[in-house]
Chain A
Amino acid sequence: MDAAGPAPRPERRWRIRLRRDRSLLVMTVPAVVLLAVFAYAPMLGLVTAFQSYDIYSGFWYSPLVGLRNFERLFQDPIFWHALENTLVISAVQLVLYFPVPIALALLFNEVASARVRAFVQAVVYLPHFFSWVLVVTVFQEMLGGAGALNTLLRRHGYETWDIMTNPEAFKFLVTAQAVWKEAGWGIIVFLAALAAIDQSLYEAAAADGAGRWRRLWHVTLPGMRGVIVLMLVLRLGNALTVGFEQMLVQRQAVGRDASEVLDTFAYYYGVVNNNFSYGAAAGLFKGVLSLLLVLAANKLAHAFGEDGLYRR
């Protein structure tokens, strides 16, 4: 950055940087192209949210209807209910799911035997690679009405425990499933953060007489703080995405009232009913809200002196 001599004029400086970073920039080209083709170009389809889209007319000939789809959306009680469900499930997941991978990472970090650690890590990673259909089936086979647990209870004359079909408990059920499936995978990034902590800090703390807990509190957690905040910001940006397949697969078991979230709403009332514009409007609303959430969370991160998604 600090070139010797008098500072060059801005455009020359820009050109110098371009020349200097040429190879790095070339390396980003594939990613940029991928994003442009698969993320940005499809965004043009958002225009359907402002149209009365039908397949024969296509994007070009479908009549524009302004904000009519949004007017209808905001008057639709099912939409508001879906938004409420999304926020509630997201909040429950934030409180009950988010801390789990951090705690797991700390636990793993304390395991002395590398072989035991590698084994347990592999075991908890594995469910990440299962599809939601499989995960729900496993839960159904264990906890469902005709599953292992209830069959045992029934055989011994006890009341059954119908967790899989209880709409009230659904938000906790989906969180439990998310923990089972994703928590192991989620620890990777925290383990990386732990590995990056300077070991000499621990030695110094130990020399000063700090016990295990004090070292955790004064060295480990501060060392992980940046990553934790980053993950939290990302999590908030994704707050309105609480899992489509997971909800879709279990919708029949608990009913719409418990399981309708924004993504399933867009699917059932947009795609299934051939009302693409309506679904697109719901999707766009979700996208804008998510963007606002991520920006707000990032601002909060900056206020606490962290980097967040990007440096100011």
Chain B
Amino acid sequence: MGSHRLSRRGLLASFGVIAAAPLLDACGSPKENNPGTTSQTDLSKVLPAFVPATAVKPDIASVTGAAGGVTDPTFLSYPANPPKTVTGPVGSGGTYVTMTPLWGAIPPSSGNAYYDAVNKELGATVKIQPADGNTYGDLLAPLFASDKLPDWIDIPSWNIGKLSFGEAVRTKFADLTPYLSGDNIKQYPNLAAIPTNAWVSGVWNGKLYGLPIYSSGAVIAGAYFYRKDLFDTAGVSADIKSVADLEAVGKALTNAAAGQWAFDDLFGDDGAYINQLYGFPSGSYPWTERDGKLVHRYETDGIVEALNWHAKMVKAGYLHPDAVANNSQNAKQRFWSGKVAVCADGTGAWNGDDTKSGAAANPSYNRQAFKMFSATGGQPAVEIGNGAGLYSYLNKKLSDKQIRELLSIANYLAAPYGSAEWLTVNFGVSGKHYTMTDGNPLLTELGSKEIATSYQFLASPLSPTTVKSGNAQVTKDYAAWQADMVKYLRKPMFYGMNVSEPAQFGSLVQPMKDTITDVKLGRKPISAWTEAVAGWRRQGGDDLRKFYEDIRTKFGTGQ
């Protein structure tokens, strides 16, 4: 705001600031250019206490790993007698407008028996208004700009870059610190059962604003998956300890003339997957330290080695031609149909639904993941991601009473897996929207029509691993793999600190992404990368480093 020139417009803007000043918090003077972040000491003051849920016992209990990582509770069937976790009235008859993203068909909003049933349980009218998840970010910007935000809104972390969120959160959303910090949260026991790690990114400028959605204590970028059936048929070992082992797999399982390739893209967009092998930071937390100086992921030796190795695999012909064309849309089909034996994907790709899809293409389909390994064969180090990828926020215009009502509703929505409330929120009315089949709820035709992920994007419990499409073995395999994986977790620099970078640095990323794609696929030599990094430093990378060095001095590094 301080950069306005004294013109008619500038003057108008200053009036706006003066009018808004009484609303601003004491610590936030309008001149302050707030980066959004919080130091560790301040963070510990606002974070809610953690009281694990005890109402339901998982079939496979959570395992604690390194860096505060903990595996998801695993359930092989839904408890036969789901306990109630919320007693007494939930809401007090208020009416609230919400907005949530949805990736899929939007269910009918009027005459929707599911919405009515949940709202009846909630004792309030929570108006569900899903919007297309793919264009959600584009919808948010005008809503923020015109100040027409609903009472309760879900905001995915990947959409906040365009919103100058560090500033916006203070003027648009309710500060939940007085309600949820420390022991205050205990009046909302289901919210208190969300692990501390998940709340961290809901804290902005030293205050708690966001409710974590689909939280997990073991979020990582992804894993390297392989087709166990194809490996077994070819007699190839899946005990991969280094990229040299992986390369041998490439040679053994590529048969281009028969239309089979060993690998899909193993690099990931912007190095999203391969950084786990080569130990350089992810795109979300790009900084690391060398001799006390901040070094960006683009400047590491790791990314250079990764680029070289991947380009070598492309040259050797081990990658599917569509992967070489950087087409990732059909990657799943390539893996399902067995045209590709190894791929990199998010951990969410591994579940019973996937088994069903894969078996449709290939009856012997068996997806497994390599245990975590490092490129050189040493101890792997896997970066732990934010405890939640989406947060919901309450409008600042709400009164104290309304905020309490909505938090009470959030407490209901966050009832853990296995509870009676969870069934209502996720599956509606028994016999109408779902039936219990083999110990797990299954949507009826009406259920599939009326129910879509909606309330869950306003508040949800710690995400469990559950049985999907009736495939219990996959659930067990995943739980075992995750228990091994969490041993290697590490916290990146500035973890969960919600640093809002000034907008001018936004343009630094695209040219680098483009160059990564060119080099990883062998279209350009590695020298093109070195040049791009030099350009990156000149065009703002060094300034960005200074910005983060400042953050480090003032707020620490989130360790």
Point out residues on A near B: beta carbons under 8 Å: 54-58, 60-64, 78, 140, 144-146, 150-151, 154-155, 157, 160, 162, 164-165, 167, 252-257, 268-269, 272-275, 278
Contacts and interface: CB of A to CB of B under 8 A. Distances in A.
List the 8 closest A-B pairs by CB distance, nearest first. Answer: A145-B321, A252-B326, A256-B514, A273-B506, A253-B325, A55-B145, A146-B321, A255-B518
Interface in B320-366: 320-322, 324-327, 339
Interface in B477-512: 503, 506-507, 509-511
A162 B320 CA distance: 13
B517 A145 contact: no
B27 to A, nearest CB: 20
A273 B145 contact: no
Contact of B9 (A63, A252, A257, A269): A63
Interface of B is mostly: helix
Contact of B325 (A63, A145, A160, A272): A145
A87 B524 CA distance: 23
B144 interface: yes
Given A55-B144, A56-B145, A273-B510, A63 B4 contact: yes
Contact of B5 (A64, A140, A155): A64
B514 A255 contact: yes
Contacts of A60: 9, 12
B330 to A, nearest CB: 9
A255 B523 contact: yes
Given A64-B5, A252-B327, A150 B321 contact: yes
Contacts, number: 100
Contacts of B13: 57, 61
A58 B162 CA distance: 14
B513 to A, nearest CB: 9
B350 to A, nearest CB: 25
Contacts of B507: 269, 273, 275, 278
Contact of B142 (A55, A256, A257, A278): A55
B523 to A, nearest CB: 5
Contacts of A164: 325
A292 to B, nearest CB: 28
Q: Tell me the dominant secondary structure on chain A's binding face.
A: helix
Interface residues of B, number: 42
A257 B518 contact: yes
Given A56-B164, A165-B325, A268 B510 contact: yes
15 contacts: A54-B164, A55-B141, A55-B144, A56-B167, A57-B13, A61-B9, A63-B3, A63-B4, A63-B10, A140-B327, A165-B523, A255-B518, A257-B524, A274-B161, A275-B506
Contact of B326 (A140, A253, A274): A253
Give the most central of B168, B320, B510, B524: most A CB within 10 Å.
B510
Contacts of B320: 145-146
B509 A273 contact: yes
A274 B506 contact: yes
A252 B517 contact: yes
Nearest to A52: B3
Contact of B162 (A162, A167, A274): A274
Contacts of A275: 503, 506-507
A256 B256 contact: no
Interface string B1-34: 0011101011011001000000000000000000
A83 B400 CA distance: 56
Nearest to B539: A76
Given A157-B257, A165-B324, A256-B515, 20 more contacts: A54-B503, A55-B141, A55-B142, A55-B145, A56-B145, A64-B7, A78-B511, A140-B327, A144-B325, A146-B321, A154-B256, A160-B321, A165-B325, A252-B327, A254-B523, A255-B517, A255-B518, A256-B511, A256-B518, A278-B507
Contacts of B94: none
Contacts of A61: 4, 9, 12-13, 16
A68 B258 CA distance: 57
B259 interface: yes
Contacts of A140: 322, 325, 327
B79 to A, nearest CB: 46
Contacts of B9: 60-64
B26 to A, nearest CB: 22
A196 B507 CA distance: 54
A42 B321 CA distance: 43
A57 to B, nearest CB: 7
A293 B326 CA distance: 36
B322 A145 contact: yes
Contacts of B161: 274
Contacts of A78: 511
A54 to B, nearest CB: 7
Contacts of A160: 321
B147 to A, nearest CB: 9
B46 to A, nearest CB: 25
Contacts of A253: 325-327
A42 to B, nearest CB: 15
A123 to B, nearest CB: 29
A63 B257 contact: no
Contacts of B145: 55-56, 58
Interface centre among B142, B168, B509, B511 (most CB of A within 10 A): B511
